[in-house]
Amino acid sequence: MRRTNCVPIRGTLRCSFCGLEITEGERYWYCNGRTACAVCLPEFARQELAPFCRTRGREGRR
């Protein structure tokens, strides 16, 4: 089997959110043990960046 840089070698790579297979040549994001396809990236980013989320007018409050 051919070894590619930093790509986990498994039969099928699936998106952690929608469960769809990420196919050859498709871009995806891998962070904190989860994989996100391009469609799920906004949701993934929202979760990963949640600590940095602010509401305008309520900065400084919890």
Residues forming contacts to Zn ion in the complex (CB under 5 A) are 15, 17-18, 37, 39-40
CA distance 44 to 32: 11
Residue number, 8 or 57, with CB nearest to Zn ion: 8
Using a 10 angstrom Cβ sphere, with 0-12 exposed, 13-18 middle and 19 or more buried, the burial of residue 15 is buried
Closest distance to Zn ion from the beta carbon of 2 (Å): 25
**46 neighbors 56 (Cβ within 8 angstroms):** no
Closest distance to Zn ion from the beta carbon of 34 (Å): 10
Residue number, 27 or 62, with CB nearest to Zn ion: 27
